[in-house]
Amino acid sequence: MTACHVEARDVYGNTLLYPVSRAAHLLAALAGTRTLDAGALAIAAELGLSVDVDGSQRQVETIAARVAKARDAIRKGFTV
């Protein structure tokens, strides 16, 4: 299974997700951004990619909750 590996960094009070792996870089290029958001990670997970986040415990927990919420929205047919 291909992994979408990102690194969480706090920038001016916002947690940004920077791509680390090739899959994450390709996903960011497809999204037209330098960083990824929870919606992009939720789509990656729905496509069968494993999502790995490096960061503090608080960052990882926050991102996991946002990705779970985005995945629920995707499964219900809403756009993220």
- 44 vs 55: CA distance, rounded Å: 19
Token pair listed for 47: 């496509």
The answer to whether the pTM exceeds 0.75 is yes
pLDDT of residue 78: 72
- 8 vs 72: CA distance, rounded Å: 22
Q: Which pLDDT band holds residue 1 (cuts at 50, 70, 90)? A: low
Q: Do the bridges between strand 50-54 and strand 14-19 make them parallel or antiparallel, or are there none, so unpaired? A: unpaired
- Kindly state the average pLDDT of the residues 13-40: 95
